[in-house]
Amino acid sequence: MFPYTDPTGTNFLESQGALNEYRAIIDRFYRDSAGISNSGFTLLDAFESLPPGTSQIDSIPWSAFPITASASFQEIDKDRFQWQDEYIEWQVERSATGEITQIIFTTEFPEYYQALAMVSADALIAGIQNVIPDANPTLDELFGSGFDPGTTSGEDRAQRFRQNLIRNPWNNGEKGILCLTQQFNTAGALFNLLDKCAIKNTSIPSSAVCGAVGGACGPNRNSDPRICQASQNTVRSSRAISLVEPVGIKIKRLFGSWEIDGVAVDINDKTNNQGAWVISRNGRRAVLDITKKVTLGGSVITSGAEVSNNLQVEADVISAPESSLANWAKTGQEFMRAPLP
């Protein structure tokens, strides 16, 4: 198995004895996608032994704003599970008087926490407290009432935790936000998008492939068409493609004119932004602290959706010429790749 690493850039999964569980979960995604007939998606192992400079990593950026949402900024904020569908979700926190205090963004997939749940409920709670330091979740909050995590298998704990995410107050906004939960923001959807769009189709423009791969690609989203076209262009150049490890979506930067207490500032410069904008967990989480008197274009920030309209996220892909790959890794040789023990 490929040595997949902790997506947060830390050794937390390993410290909880959950790294192997996480690797097994992620490996299934890679192997399923690498087994798609005639897809240029291949396993990461294919790039390991290539000479330096043979492979390249490219970033695919898009706006975090959910352009498919037929709702106001305030409604988008309020109904995260309905509208926030660009592989990033956020929670707006307010003071007792209703003023926004901070906006928390996440791009973490639930699989991270599922791996912890597979080890034990205690490991899962430790993972939540690593993100929300003052969290004190109960078992009922994490798994739902009537479920005893101490008498079930790790798989059952992981599945129950995921099924309960919308009701979990440490994720649904009542007490915090943990990970992506909107129905389209899944790791499976990301892999499915990339592998289907990596099936070469020169009968139409690469920009039209998104609309020709069925439900794998949402043509009206910000993210899907860009990822799909990049994948298609890669295989049209006779290159194989895969998702960079650690797999995930990274929060990259804010655009626009930002001020702190009325003074213009580069909000992305962590040495000068007074801690107003902090990206953590290897790009998987970010917090905009409005209490630092942050304004955008001279105006008070009134919603998280407004900020998302000025926020860039991205996915990284790796590719290499098909001619440089071992035979098992090339397009058309999918039967040689899966499943391996």
At residue 338, does pLDDT exceed 60? no
pLDDT digits (tens, 9 = 90+) for 266-278: 999 999 999 999 9
Residue 74 tokens read as 């305030």
Integer angstrom CA distances of residue 273 from 7, 269, 296, 313: 26, 6, 13, 20
Q: What is the average pLDDT value for the chain, to the nearest integer?
A: 97
CA angle 108, 114, 119 (to 5 degrees): 135
| Cα–Cα distance for residue pair 116/18, rounded to 1 Å | 5
| Per-residue three-class SS string for 274-341 | CCCEEEEHHHCEEEEEHHHCEEECCEECCCHHHHHCCEEEEEEEEEEEHHHCCHHHCCCCHHHCCCCC
In the chain, % of residues over pLDDT 90: 97
| Cα–Cα distance for residue pair 303/74, rounded to 1 Å | 6
B/e letters for 65-82, b = 16+ CB within 10 Å, e = fewer, are bbeebeeebeebbbebee
117 contacts 144 by C-beta, under 8 angstroms = no
pLDDT digits (tens, 9 = 90+) for 99-111: 999 999 999 999 9
**Strand 89-94 and strand 100-106: pairing?**
antiparallel
